[in-house]
Amino acid sequence: MGFLSAILVFVGYFFYFRDIFKGSTKPHAFTWFAWGLINSIVFFAQVYEGAAAGSWMTGLNALGCIAVCVISFSKGIKDFPLFDWISLFASLFALVLWWLTKEPAFSVILLTLTDILAFLPTFRKGFFKPYEETVSTFAISSFQFFLSIFALGTYNIPTTLYPASIFLTDGLFVLMLLVRRKQLMIKVSS
């Protein structure tokens, strides 16, 4: 399961990078920056807590997030409204709290909360511009995090909470994008 979820990281990012360079996907730098940082921290926490093969996907995902962040400064959105700045600073504040606690379970809870806060700018953008995100990437991500749960060597809050959260948030994001696309198609055809 760990190997399969790791392979799915490459598949998901293939579609995302393809769409970025085609110009149809416009990533949000704030979200991808925070996700790269969070995935890196969670990866090391999972390794420390004995996640085994279940952590491989998180480590690879961290590298992918960092790459998207770097690319988003030239190929992503350039407009950052106040809501996006508030989300960025809230997620950075949660990271500071994580650093101060240094307790694995509480740290992963804070990192999971940080990840959700970091997702808000992309979620908001996806709601208003659902065609500027690659549905397949987030669907694959949801599935790969689901699979990674079964590859964990140990089940506890530090190893399980984060992948379970990503499985749910990415899955809900996919559902929202599909619903919004359908709503916009109905609106255009009316």
The region of weakest confidence among 30-44, 79-93, 131-145 is 79-93
- The 3 state secondary structure assigned to 89-148 is HHHHHHHHHHHHHCCHHHHHHHHHHHHHHHHHHHHHHHHHCHHHCCHHHHHHHHHHHHHH
How many domains, in total, are found in the chain?
1
Does residue 176 contact residue 123 with C-beta atoms inside 8 Å?
Answer: yes
pLDDT given at position 143: 92
Residue 190: which pLDDT band, with cuts at 50, 70 and 90? Answer: low
pLDDT given at position 52: 74
The region of weakest confidence among 59-63, 79-83, 99-103 is 99-103
Does residue 46 contact residue 54 with C-beta atoms inside 8 Å?
Answer: yes
Which residue type, as a one-letter code, is found at position 168?
Answer: L
Is residue 67's pLDDT more than 90? yes
Is residue 161's pLDDT more than 70? yes
Q: Which domain does 115 fall in, by range?
A: 2-74+83-189
Residue 171: which pLDDT band, with cuts at 50, 70 and 90? Answer: very high
Q: How far apart are the first and last CA of the chain?
A: 46
Is residue 91's pLDDT more than 90? no
CA distance 73 to 79: 11
